[in-house]
Amino acid sequence: MGLLDRMGTIVKSKMSRIMDRMEDPREVLDYSYEKQLELLQNVKRGIAEVATSKKRLELQRARLAQSAEQLEGKAREALSAGREDLARQALERKVSLQNQIEILDSQIAELDREEQKLIGVETRLSTKIETLRARKEAIKAQYSAAEAQVKVTESVTGISEELADVGLAIQRAEEKTEGMKARAAALDDLLEKGALEDYTGGDALERELSKVRTSGAVEAELARLRGEMK
Amino acid sequence: MIIRILGEGQYRAPDTILEDLNAIDNRIVELVEKGDREGFRNELLRMVSLIRERCEPLDATEITESDLILPPPDLTFEEARGIFRGQGLIED
């Protein structure tokens, strides 16, 4: 059995779970309408959630980019003081930050795709809701005429399929956002503890650099004093 | 025939497309079995773009059941493997 058959089975089992709850297709119509409204709220929430996660990653990215820039400045400073070893150290840290930034970039892009997809789902679902709202009473009225029952059943299965699809889309988006959130939280933790930003200050590199700066200043003072004593 | 791409909506497709879809579907089964991630991804995208290129999107006001359901285009290899093991697309 291929992927297509299996997809059909998955969706059909979701649909039948919706339809089995009701004895009369007319009840399914009302239930589906309510359910669609509920799903629309979920989709809207999902979009907001994805947007928030994206924003958070963008902020983290900005922080890391700023640190990388500062490290570049320090490398320059170390080089002009003739300390290639320190410059190398700063650049190593900058490269590791840049790797983090690249990972963030791809996550931001993925969330962006997810957002676009959900916006598409929202538009489609809104149209379906509008259609169902306008037609549901008419379809229900037709049901009492035996010959129209097949048509009603068709509409009901069509709606259930849509519900199953939207339901799946929301759940998958949620799972993805959850994963991203966990990673963002871990990164926040690191930033909080200074594990990433310490790269730019307060650590051994900064101490060394400040030694270079002080010794430069000390040398200059010495030279000035020597000059005065001559 | 009516085809749904999960998460994207429905399309009206010529019946002749079925043969091409089945051929890709068979390859996907093999690729997942072999553990060929990249091959799987390529075939899945080929399957989806076949529909996007050769079929008419169904008007969103139409309410009808699909004859065939395609997985979402971003289906991961792991998800596909789970589906073949009968695990569904996501946990219930």
- Report chain A's mean pLDDT, rounded to a whole number: 84
Q: What is the rounded CA–CA span in Å between residue A208 and residue B16?
A: 73
Predicted pLDDT at B26: 93
pLDDT tens across A56-77, in order? 999 999 999 999 999 899 889 8
pLDDT over threshold 90, residue A208? no
Predicted pLDDT at A182: 81
Joined together, the tokens standing for residue B19 give 């043969």
Which of B70, B74, B90 is nearest residue A4 as measured by Cβ atoms? B70
Question: Which residues of A fall below an 8 Å CB-CB distance to B?
Answer: 2-4, 6-8, 10-11, 13, 113, 117, 120-121, 123-124, 127-128, 130-132, 135, 154-155, 157-159, 161-162, 165, 168-169, 171-172, 175
pTM of the model: 0.76
Predicted pLDDT at A17: 80
Lowest mean pLDDT among A92-101, B2-11, B36-45: A92-101
Predicted pLDDT at A37: 93
pLDDT: which is higher, A191 or A198: A191
Which of B7, B28, B86 is nearest residue A169 as measured by Cβ atoms? B7
Joined together, the tokens standing for residue A190 give 């690191």
- φ, ψ at B3 (rounded to 5°): -120, 135
pLDDT tens across A89-141, in order? 888 888 888 888 999 999 999 999 989 999 999 998 999 899 888 888 888 88
pLDDT over threshold 60, residue A202? no
A108 Cβ neighbours under 8 A, 6+ residues apart: A54, A57, A58, A61
Average pLDDT estimate for A35-54: 91
- Report chain B's mean pLDDT, rounded to a whole number: 90
Angle, CA of A33, A40 and A24, to the nearest 5°: 20
Question: Which residues of B fall below an 8 Å CB-CB distance to A?
Answer: 4, 6-9, 21-22, 25-26, 28-29, 32, 60-66, 68-72, 74, 80, 83-84, 86, 88-90
How close, in Å, is residue B47 to chain A by CA atoms? Answer: 10
A120 Cβ neighbours under 8 A, 6+ residues apart: B8, B9
Joined together, the tokens standing for residue A49 give 């959630």
Predicted pLDDT at A140: 81
Given pLDDT bands bounded at 50, 70 and 90, which one contains residue A163?
A: confident
What DSSP letter does each residue of A152-201 carry, written as one string? Answer: HHHHHHHHHHHHHHHHHHHHHHHHHHHHHHHHHHHHHHHHHHTTTGGGGS
- Chain B: residue nearest A114 by CA? B74
pLDDT: which is higher, B59 or A215: B59
pLDDT: which is higher, A80 or A210: A80
Predicted pLDDT at A156: 81
Predicted pLDDT at A196: 65
Q: What is the rounded CA–CA span in Å between residue A104 and residue A197?
A: 16
B86 Cβ neighbours under 8 A, 6+ residues apart: A6
Residues of chain B contacting residue A46, judged by C-beta atoms under 8 Å apart: none
Q: What is the rounded CA–CA span in Å between residue B35 and residue B39?
A: 9
